[in-house]
Structures are given as structure tokens and as C-alpha cells.
Amino acid sequence: MNQYLFVLLSFVHVLADPDFAKLDGAPPSKIAVVGAGIGGTATAHFLRQHFGPEVRIDVFERGSVGGRLATVTVNHQDYESGGSIIHSLNLHMQDFVQQLGLKYRKSVAGKTAVFNGDEFILEETDWYLLDLFRLWWRYGISFIRLQMWVEEIMEKFMRIYKYQAHGYAFSSVEELLHSLGGSGFINMTRRSLSESLLELGVSQRFIDEVIAPIMRVNYGQNISIPAFVGAVSLAGAQANLWAVEGGNKLVCSGLLKLAKANLIRSPVATITLRSTGDYQQYELTYDSQNEKSSELYDIVVVATPLQQNINSGISFQGFEPQLSEIAGSYHQTVASIIHGYLNCSYFGFPDPKLFPFSSILTTDTPGLFFNSAASVCPVNITSGFRRKQPQEAGVYKVFSPKPLEKSELKTLFKSYYSVQVTDWLAYPHYGSSQGLPPVVLHENLYFLNGMEWAGSAMEMSSVAAKNIALLAYHRWNRQLEMIDQKELMHKVKTEL
């Protein structure tokens, strides 16, 4: 059986089937989570909250705890190489940081400019009003329209926290999005960002010169990505961003501890359906100290992408009927952390002392070999910290679609001491036609990373984690009235 195939049992059928829960009403005794990124560790934490202290929760990880939250070390200091910024309204991430006693690390101010391969076409200044005036002069009221659009979407998205606080769960990403923003949100996962913005009255020039550079730095893709993920990306380009002091991955190790989960540092190789009479469990096989081990679980959450080019190594066996391939692929983005001297002349500033920018975004110009270049701060910031000036050796993060060639490094940097490359399959390669993957793979087998296909971010994985913990709990206890309820805004207003 192909390892990239998985069960497409109709979950509509599953929800209607009263036999999917254990009939004696006993709680589950063992739950497995595959993957210890923010999605898997948050799932373990929420599962513990809902199922209580008795259930055993095993979390499998084949690489490092944190997954796509990772750091690299330069000159004895660590820098984020994967997921790095968090929005002030990302309430689950905020809550984790508070519960774990971690500290916030605020972004250090710095100016941004947009480079088109020849010159800067947009430059931030020290003067907020001047920047506003320039935007208005160049793009009319496009930026106000955009701001209002993003705010409206965020306001609707924030409803999820209320629904989840009231215990409501959704059996698919579509149901979840529909409950937040109706068919408008679903359509936003199918229509391109550029189409949606043009319809809104945002000018093509603004899209090319402002929106496209933001999509390139956040998702390495262009303005044809779906509008919903585009809005997630634009929200991440606003002010009020933060990160976790010491590194975002600390949230993952902290959540594992808080959940009192057992971390099993092994790759899961197979998930096999085992039936005893009416009761079904999942057998996971994994390598443990060079030996094959296996264990039976009542509930399993797969918290890693299953698309073909990710090569999760998981094969699903014994599921009848049909298995179907999961569509889509993950997008390559290379993060190079470079310690050196920026070549300001390349950007038209022969004197580095006069170079005022800390972040350089780029337009979608054919042949331009990098998506962005930015001076970055370490994950631990002391009170006297100041950004290095361009005439000093500093640490920069460059995102590019492929590893940088030596000649490209020499174009961007006058000289450098070190280059550390992380070649990520970073986020979904968004197209408009692949649809959203399922959440329920089988009665008590769930898939977290379908949510990324609406938008990939730490908070999206955290929202998916809370949803799966609630969904698993309600399905186990046959509280179907808590799943896929309609008119939730009205319901949560009238509930005590």
C-alpha cells in the first residue's frame, strides 16, 4: 500500500454512525500524536485538558521538537530560521506563552524598502505621516481599502476563540471556515488574492508593488495564491508583531511538559487499523533503538503534512474501503542566515552609512534570485541591544526559492564570515484548485495539517490543534451536538 495514500472514508457517514465510539463509555486509555511541531504539541496539551489526567499521551517525533520552528546558531547566538513572527491577536500562542511562563520578544524597529531588481521603488521613512502621504500619492486609497478588508477578515476569524471556548468543534476545515465567515470565507480559499483585491478596488500597481512583495517574503509565492492565505499573510505584515524570547520552539517543548506527554523520538512507519469485535484501534509501528516496536492506540492525531514531497514515511494499512492520494505539494523556501557585510552598492547606496533599511522586500521580477533580505535579531535580546549598522558585520536572513549560489551571495554581500542554510519545504504550494484536505481520516484518526491549506502559520496549527482535541473528545463521548453546529454566533451569545 502506498505510503502517501490515506483513508477517505466519508466522515459524514462516520458522524452519523453511532458505533464509532467505544460502546461502554469508558475513556480512551492511550492517544498518539505523530509530530512534535507546534501543531502536535498544542494538540497534546489540549487533549490533556479535555481527556483529563488518566489517559496516556505519546507524542512521536522523528526530528527535532519544534519542527518548522527552529533556530540556527551564529557567533554564539541563536536566530529563528523557520516560523518567526506572531501577531498580537494570535490568542492561542499568547496563552501558551503565558501558561508556560515564557517571555515576549518584541520586534526591534527598522525600516523596510521594496527592491525591483534595479532600484528601490518604495522606501519607508522616519515619518509616519510622510509615509502615509507617499502611499496615498502613489496608490490612491488602495491601502485604506486593503486595511479595512484585512481587519474585517481578522474580526470574523477571531470568532473561533469564542466558539472554541464554548467547546464547539468542526469536522472539516470548510465547516470551521464557514462558521466564521460563511461562504465568503470558503470562496476566499478558492479565488486568487489578486482577483479579490482588484474587485475590492485595490489598484494593480499597489498589488504589484506592495502586496506581491509581502506574499514573497511570507509564503515565497505570488499574488495568485488564494485570498484567504493572502489575508493571513497581510495580517502578518502589520504592526504589533512579537516572538518568543529564547526561540519560538520553546513553546513546543513547554507544551509537551505541560501536557505530561511521553515524547518518543522515533519516526512512525505505519498506522494500521486493528479490529476486535466492534471495537477498533490503531497500531503504530516505529523504530526504537534499532528495533521495530508497535503499540495500540484508541485515538491517533497525525500532526505532520502527508503530501507526497514531504515524505512523512507513514504508511496507512488495513483501512477498508479505499484509500486516496492526498493532493498538492509543499513549497521550497531556503532560509540562509548570513553573517557578513551587506553590499549596499548593489542597492544603489555606495556609502553603507547612508543605507537606512533593515528589511528589503522584492517585487515579482523575473530573474530576481531572492525573495527578501533582512537584518535579524537573535532570539535573546538584552536590554542594551541595538541593530548592527550596515557598515558593520551583521546577521542577515535571506529567503530565496533555491539555495543561493556563490555568485549570488557575492552580489548581496561584500564579504561574509558564515552562511547557514535551511532548505525548507516550508508551507503548502498554494494553487486554487486542490481543495482542503480532510480532518477526519477514520473514526478516531485525525489529520491536523489540512488547516495549513487555508493558511499556514503557528496560530493556524494551534487553532487546528484545539479543534481536533475538541472534535476527538466529542466524537469519543458521542456529543454530536457540539460538532458542526450552525448559527454559532447566535448560540454563543445566548449561552451562559
Q: Which is nearer to ligand FAD, 45 or 62 (CB)?
A: 62
Of 478, 448, 441, 468, which is closest to residue 27 (Cα–Cα)?
A: 478
Considering only 29-37, 49-57, 141-149, 368-376, which stretch makes contact with ligand FAD by CB under 6 A?
29-37
Q: Are 131 and 210 in contact (CB under 8 A)?
A: no
CB of 90 to ligand FAD, least distance (A): 7
Using rule CB under 6 A, residue 456 touches ligand FAD: yes
Using rule CB under 6 A, residue 314 touches ligand FAD: yes
Q: Which of 28, 67, 437, 450 binds ligand FAD (CB under 6 A)?
A: 67
Q: Which is nearer to ligand FAD, 21 or 34 (CB)?
A: 34
Instruction: Compute the C-alpha angle 378/364/332, nearest 5°.
Output: 55
Using rule CB under 6 A, residue 62 touches ligand FAD: yes
Other CB atoms within 10 A of residue 3 CB: 16
CA atoms of 412 and 275, how far apart (whole Å): 59
Using rule CB under 6 A, residue 82 touches ligand FAD: yes
Of 79, 129, 82, 132, which is closest to residue 108 (Cα–Cα)?
A: 79
Considering only 18-26, 30-38, 275-283, 345-353, which stretch makes contact with ligand FAD by CB under 6 A?
30-38
CA atoms of 340 and 337, how far apart (whole Å): 10
Instruction: Compute the C-alpha angle 106/109/110, nearest 5°.
Output: 140
Using rule CB under 6 A, residue 318 touches ligand FAD: no
Using rule CB under 6 A, residue 424 touches ligand FAD: yes
CB of 302 to ligand FAD, least distance (A): 9
Instruction: Compute the C-alpha angle 372/376/379, nearest 5°.
Output: 135
Contacting ligand FAD within 86-125 (CB under 6 A): 86
CA atoms of 172 and 94, how far apart (whole Å): 25
Task: Give me the count of residues in the chain.
Answer: 496
Q: Which of 110, 184, 267, 318 binds ligand FAD (CB under 6 A)?
A: 267
Angle between helices 227-235 and 142-157 (to 10 degrees): 100
Of 24, 64, 22, which is closest to residue 40 (Cα–Cα)?
A: 64
Using rule CB under 6 A, residue 38 touches ligand FAD: yes
Q: Which is nearer to ligand FAD, 204 or 294 (CB)?
A: 294
Instruction: Compute the C-alpha angle 199/154/302, nearest 5°.
Output: 110
Q: Which of 172, 221, 359, 461 binds ligand FAD (CB under 6 A)?
A: 461
Q: Which of 7, 21, 34, 173 binds ligand FAD (CB under 6 A)?
A: 34
Distances (CA, A) of 325 to 5, 316, 441: 4, 11, 12
Using rule CB under 6 A, residue 328 touches ligand FAD: no
Residue 13 grid cell: 457517514
Using rule CB under 6 A, residue 84 touches ligand FAD: yes
Binding-residue total with ligand FAD (CB under 6 A): 38
Residue 63 grid cell: 526530528
CB of 25 to ligand FAD, least distance (A): 31
DSSP assignment letter at 453: G
Interface pattern 292-311 for ligand FAD (x via CB under 6 A)? -----------xx-------
Where along the sequence are the contacts to ligand FAD (CB under 6 A)? 34-40, 60-63, 67-69, 82-86, 267-268, 303-304, 312-314, 333, 335, 424, 426-427, 449, 452, 456-459, 461
